[in-house]
């Protein structure tokens, strides 16, 4: 089984990497970009029977800093 975890900074948390990407896009002539939020995707290969609750526990304990980041889980 596979799981994909999307981790993003919460709204209101400054995103200097996203701002750097926005600035670089503008420098390349892509002037229509008003904002960029950068995150990460973590793909997990899981043993059969691993539950979403277990993946959520992984996120809460290690994969996301829940003080400043939110996450979503896709199982498949």
pLDDT at 39: 97
Number of separate domains in the chain: 1
Condensed to tens digits (0 to 9), the pLDDT of residues 16-59 reads 999 999 999 999 999 999 999 999 999 999 999 999 999 999 99
CATH code, 62 = 3.30.1280.10
* Alpha-helix residue ranges (DSSP H) falling in 10-62: 16-27, 52-58
Which residues form the domain of 68? 2-75
| Contact predicate 46/52, CB 8 Å | no
- Distance, CA of 59 to CA of 76 (rounded, Å): 17
């Amino acid at each position: 089984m596979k799981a994909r975890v999307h981790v993003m900074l919460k709204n209101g948390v400054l995103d200097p990497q996203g701002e750097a990407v926005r600035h670089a896009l503008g420098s390349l002539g892509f002037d229509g970009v008003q904002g960029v939020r950068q995150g990460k995707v973590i793909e997990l290969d899981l043993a059969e029977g691993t539950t979403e609750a277990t993946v959520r526990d992984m996120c809460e304990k290690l994969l996301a800093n829940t003080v400043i980041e939110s996450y979503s889980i896709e199982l498949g």
